[in-house]
């Protein structure tokens, strides 16, 4: 969810609650524990080839925990919020032998990153997802690599804006699955008309994005 330019996520104190939520000062849900099984499916997708894995946005650490269960070579985590970074250090993520933590905004380091076999992205209220993150994926994803991200806008397909931006260089697929952990009661953002999720959806999506094996001809662009 994008709350607009006036809302600066990094100015807000974040709280890890006892009932399994990560909230900002307004009570906006950054992440909830019911997403854990969703993150497991995402980890399965991006770790399918093993190798070097990148996760952008730690949150509650669900996907990173599942990434650690795969046979991978390295695990890089980019996290920019100081409260989340503090939680990561408290929980010992900096002590894991194959983990590298980059405490920075991905926008500031993306052009300096190496290439990865699997990349996952899930950050809160990011205005640069379309203009900065997506155009740079082709530079940091290995030829046989897999990119995915938190697709909360649909239970059937990849966001059309994403495909419009990436279709020249990438092929798209989706993994659709049931998510039994979704709460049955709608949880609305405070002071907005939006919802963190739609409990009426019965299926959930993990985008599977890979380099095109056959480049699109210029005459078709």
Domains of the chain: total: 1
CA pair distance 206, 208, nearest whole angstrom = 6
Order of strands across the sheet that contains 203-211:
99-103, 74-79, 52-56, 116-121, 141-149, 203-211, 170-178
Question: Between the CA of residue 188 and those of 1, 26, 137, 178, what are the distances in Å?
Answer: 12, 12, 32, 22
Per the listing, tokens 């996907």 go with 63
Whether the Cβ atoms of residue 55 and residue 62 lie closer than 8 Å to each other: no
In 150-217, the DSSP E strands lie at 170-178, 203-211
Best CA proximity match to 59, nearest among 114, 112, 113, 125: 125
Q: Does some domain include residue 193?
A: yes
Instruction: Name the residue range of residue 157's domain.
Output: 34-181+188-220
Whether the Cβ atoms of residue 178 and residue 202 lie closer than 8 Å to each other: yes
Whether the Cβ atoms of residue 146 and residue 208 lie closer than 8 Å to each other: yes
Q: Does some domain include residue 110?
A: yes
Q: Report DSSP state, residue 34.
A: G
Q: Does some domain include residue 124?
A: yes
73-131, pLDDT tens digit by residue?
999 999 999 999 999 999 999 999 999 999 999 999 999 999 999 999 999 878 899 99
CATH of residue 158:
3.40.50.150
Q: Does some domain include residue 129?
A: yes
pLDDT of residue 183: 65
Local confidence band at 202 (pLDDT 50, 70, 90 cut-offs): low
56-78, pLDDT tens digit by residue?
999 999 999 999 999 999 999 99
Q: Does some domain include residue 13?
A: no
Q: What percent of the chain has pLDDT over 70?
A: 83
pLDDT of residue 219: 46
Q: Does some domain include residue 24?
A: no
Task: Using DSSP, state whether 86 is helix, strand or coil.
Answer: helix
Q: Is the pTM of this model over 0.85?
A: yes
Q: Does some domain include residue 104?
A: yes
Q: Does some domain include residue 198?
A: yes
Task: Using DSSP, state whether 58 is helix, strand or coil.
Answer: coil
CA pair distance 190, 27, nearest whole angstrom = 7
Q: Is the pLDDT of residue 186 over 90?
A: no
Per the listing, tokens 């049931």 go with 178
């Amino acid at each position: 969810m994008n709350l607009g330019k006036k809302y600066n996520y990094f100015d807000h104190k974040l709280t890890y609650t006892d009932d399994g939520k990560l909230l900002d000062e307004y009570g906006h849900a950054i992440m909830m524990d019911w997403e854990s099984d969703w993150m497991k499916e995402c980890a399965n997708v991006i770790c399918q080839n093993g190798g070097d894995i990148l996760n952008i946005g730690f949150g509650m650490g669900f996907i990173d925990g599942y990434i650690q269960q795969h046979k991978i070579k390295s695990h890089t985590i980019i996290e920019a919020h100081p409260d989340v970074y503090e939680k990561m250090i408290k929980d010992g993520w900096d002590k894991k032998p194959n983990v590298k933590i980059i405490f920075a905004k991905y926008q500031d380091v993306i052009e300096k990153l190496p290439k990865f076999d699997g990349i996952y992205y899930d950050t809160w209220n990011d205005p640069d997802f379309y203009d900065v993150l997506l155009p740079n994926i082709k530079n940091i994803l290995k030829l046989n690599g897999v990119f995915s991200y938190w697709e909360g806008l649909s239970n059937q397909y990849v966001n059309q804006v994403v495909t419009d931006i990436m279709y020249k260089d990438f092929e798209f697929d989706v993994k659709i699955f049931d998510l039994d952990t979704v709460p049955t009661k709608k949880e609305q953002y405070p002071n907005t008309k939006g919802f963190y999720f739609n409990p009426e959806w019965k299926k959930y999506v993990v985008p599977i994005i890979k380099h095109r094996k056959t480049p699109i001809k210029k005459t078709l662009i």
